[in-house]
Chains A and B, each alone.
Chain A
Amino acid sequence: MLFGTNPFFRWSYITSNWSQIQADLVQHIELSLIAVAIGTAISIPLAVLAWRYRIIRAPVFGVASALYIIPSLALFAILGPITGFVASYTTAEIALVGYTLLILIWNTVAGLDAVPADAREAATALGYSRSAALVRVDLPLALPYIFAGLRVATATVIGLVTVTALIGLGGLGQQITYGFNIGYNTPIIVGLVLSVALAAVADLLLVGAERLVVPWARTRRAKAVS
């Protein structure tokens, strides 16, 4: 045993390992940010296509569901031989992006479906073409749903990044596996608490961004509450 006793939490661990914790935190943010960004860039166009052309809806949701159902650890192991190296950013990111697709596509399609027919008719009456209406009417009105999806996807990814520690990456997951390997509580708790805090901060930022981008949603929500 490295440490004579194993208290529930030892502050000195944080001060003496601060640079490593910081590096893990940065890697965690990097892995999550890239996954959500790529996931969004893929999902929104796919969702628009799936919404407009019913015929591709089933295959798009089928593939996204299949990726969502495969356990993360298994997906890393399956992708490893394909990308060439298991413990690579590519392997981790492909898998992480895979998990965001279903959530983001699902919510975007639901949001587009929920656009009131009145709004679309008004856009047509004003002379908008179909694609202009998509960009200036449909997608903006779907934003509350898209943001709901982004929030779930971000929280999911931040949690899943810890599992990439088992293929040698992991961000804060490194703290968790380190603590487990030497039977020491503190690193695990550090990983757990920082990961939860990261998810909370990311969620707050997304809520803030939503308020900036979708100001009308706030007034509507306020009305619904009162």
Chain B
Amino acid sequence: MFRRTFMSLTLGTAIALSGAFSATAQSEELTIFWAEWDPANYLQELANIYTAETGVTVTVQTTPWPDFQTKTFAEFNAKGDAFDMVVGDSQWVGAGSTGGHYVELTDFYAKHKVLDSMAPATVKAYSEYPGNSGKQWSIPLEGDAAGWAYRKDWFEDPKEMAAFKAKYGYDLAVPKDYKQLRDIAEFFHRPDEKRYGIAIYTDNSYDAMLMGIESTIFSYGGELGDYSSYKVEGILNSPQNAEAVEMYKQLYGFTPPNWGKTFFQESNQAITENLAAMSMNFFAFFPALANKASNPNADVTGYFANPAGPGGAQHAALGGQGISIVSYSKKQEASMKFLEWFIKDETQKKWAELGGYTCNKAVLESEAFRKATPYNEAFYQTMFIVKDFWAVPEYAELLTQINNGVYPYIISGEGGSAQEVLNKVSAEWVATFKKYGR
């Protein structure tokens, strides 16, 4: 019995396989590698237009955010040609250019006057390395930054407003600074009712949690170091940074349960599942919140830019990516042609219409763009206050070190005070820079 079944199964699969093999003959194909999220799907849709125009198939290949860096660099370090282009994170420009993984685009910039069409801040963040050298390595593709979604219906409930005013002495509204953010989070934090104050990033893999902390640090007037002189001591572990990290820990106290390893999906779910009053996330993840089919609360979800710190400074962590050509690709010519098409104004307009966050100056400033979605206005404002992490080749080690120090402090209060933790991380960063002769 077993014997016969086995034989027929084998035979069946063999037939199925031979059929499948013959179906996979292909014409010219380009592959773009990016992380798994909505913008990658929008890019696929945009690329399909290119395919319809030119006959060149463009596939957007994706992998989840936490694995994105590992997968990309595993491929780079194997000098593999699986990908022709990579939509790399802003921090990768250093490693990508000095490691020889990216094709230099300085000539491309000059020839196609890219600097005239793209917002200068995005070119600086996603493409130029070393800073102010004029050497370009990628085309800004997706602008992004940290922002906030909140429950308008909770905020505007008259009973809540009265109770809030009675307790804190000012009106319940979109928070203007971190103190207000904290108060509102505390106010709505009611575990008995299964309602919680706030949703923030806490995933310690890659840069997820750090994005939240960074936004806080920058708004508190702090820095992660001097990016040109590599000075860290006294900057990373400054008193205002310690205060910012303490604030982040306080905010963690008002998050829903099991919130110790969360990223964009959980942040969105906090809104859709009625868990939290406010939720920090990247703008690129907000389409799912504005969509009634995936967010039953879409109509009552509002958005605001990252609030200011105690000193009045207001900043937000920069996300977003530029697209680069992989130097191991055998189809660099075809990739260049795709990029030429991509930077055209009408392509950029189409890109924004599909849901991509264009970095094209003209499109970005247009009324049509700012009114297109409930969150585009907040995005537009945020793009003027963004700041980014180190873009040096050894940024991955810096990330691991700061995660190892700050994560246990925020989640379980280990490692002493915020100041002590930052002192330790600062010493490790100094050692790392020394190791690489910075």
The answer to whether A and B come from one shared complex is no
Q: Which residues of B contact A (CB under 8 A)?
A: none
